[in-house]
A and B are shown apart, each in its own frame.
Chain A
Amino acid sequence: GDSVTQMEGPVTLSEEAFLTINCTYTATGYPSLFWYVQYPGEGLQLLLKATKADDKGSNKGFEATYRKETTSFHLEKGSVQVSDSAVYFCALSRRRALTFGSGTRLQVQP
């Protein structure tokens, strides 16, 4: 079946550091890929998405590229801020439901 694997956290970075959170997936066909973010005590917010191979999703300085050859959708940001501290979820969409990775907690220190 479908699955999503994310790097384990927590990831602790200093402000203005470069961020990479790895995500790989297993699925048949061509799923859509998403990154969602969950701030403390809140629900999930869509951060970015990509619907086909080589698409790059971007939002709020975050980027991720749909790599079919490596079945990956790694999240990157050039300079993180304290306000980026949250849990990040990689997900794929097939048959309408989302399959989520286990989430990666990011802690950014001033």
Chain B
Amino acid sequence: DTAVSQTPKYLVTQMGNDKSIKCEQNLGHDTMYWYKQDSKKFLKIMFSYNNKELIINETVPNRFSPKSPDKAHLNLHINSLELGDSAVYFCASSQETGNYEQYFGPGTRLTVT
């Protein structure tokens, strides 16, 4: 069973389009995250959701919006895509309490042309 899953794995789209990436976790975790990995492999936190409440938003453009329909899902919506949005996006989850060990999904490679 996949613990943290993302769809799609690859996404190729044109500038100006709106797209969504879905994430689901079956670990019963309370907190979910979105990270962006750039072409140099650098990883940076974008959002964190705890019990359907946004708790971190690290200076991400408002074209990006996380949506959490329930505790097991955190989707990422991106409006008006730009070339600079091309990256690999990772979803992750963790328990709220404890030492915040996070489990990652396989990633979604977004290419904006």
Q: Which residues of A are at the interface with B, using a C-beta cutoff of 8 A?
A: 32, 34, 36, 38, 42-46, 49, 51, 87, 89, 93, 95-100, 102-103, 105
Contact = CB atoms under 8 A, between A and B. Distances in A.
A89 B43 contact: yes
B31 interface: yes
Interface of B: 4, 31, 33, 35, 40-45, 48, 50, 55-56, 58, 90, 92, 94, 96, 99-107
A87 B43 CA distance: 12
Nearest to B106: A43
A49 B101 contact: yes
B41 A98 contact: no
A38 B103 CA distance: 12
> In terms of DSSP, what is the predominant structure of the interface of chain B?
strand
25 contacts: A32-B99, A32-B101, A38-B41, A42-B106, A42-B107, A43-B106, A44-B90, A45-B104, A46-B103, A49-B101, A87-B41, A89-B43, A95-B56, A96-B50, A96-B56, A96-B96, A97-B33, A97-B48, A97-B56, A98-B43, A98-B45, A98-B100, A100-B43, A103-B41, A105-B41
A43 B48 CA distance: 18
Contacts of B31: 96
Contacts of B104: 36, 43-45
